[in-house]
Amino acid sequence: MALPSEDGGAVSAAFDDFFQRESERLFRALYFVTANREDAEEVMQDAFLKLWERWDRIERIDDPTAYLFRVALNGFRSRVRRARVAARHLLTTDMAHDPFDEVEVREDLRRLMASLTPRQRAALLLMDVYGYGSDHAARIMGIRASTVRVLASQARAAIRSA
């Protein structure tokens, strides 16, 4: 895929560097939010594709990493909405095998995270795991900072009670 640029190779190299720096971090974040490896991979690919489409205008984006996370979380929310509609029309569900199911600690963590709402997981992940402040996390999630703090607090309370 070629970008409309005089130096397409440099633009492509810059994107490749950004991808190498952020892909594993974004995948881990999405794995916690989605609680599913395949969904996390698909959402991550979609988010990077959307960023790639705008990469020639990246200098206008204040924080490309925050933009990437926001695109990914918005993509996940859209997928959840579409899945809910599709689930209403299905009679059975097919559960995919998660390779971490056999590891007791990871299973406990997955179960705890899955008991939270996607917004609580996202808020907790952005604030506690990646260290974003509530203002920065709010911009990524597209909500108010006070809402991020409430979601993270609710998530922590739910984990403590479990």
Query: Domains (ranges, CATH) in the chain?
Result: 11-161 (1.20.140.160)
Question: Can you tell me which residue has the tokens 């991808």?
Answer: 19
- For residue 36, the SS3 value is coil
- The reply to whether the predicted model has a pTM over 0.75 is no
Give the long-range contacts of residues 136-141, CB within 8 A, separation 24 or more: 136/63, 136/66, 139/66, 139/70, 140/66, 140/69, 140/70, 140/73, 141/70, 141/73
For every one of its 162 residues, what pLDDT tens digit does the chain have, with 9 covering 90 and above?
A: 344 445 556 777 888 999 999 999 999 999 988 888 999 999 999 999 999 988 888 778 888 899 999 999 999 998 888 888 877 777 555 566 656 556 677 778 788 888 999 999 999 989 988 889 999 999 999 999 999 999 999 999 998 888
Question: Can you tell me which residue has the tokens 């996607």?
Answer: 118
- For residue 150, the SS3 value is helix
Question: Can you tell me which residue has the tokens 């920065």?
Answer: 136
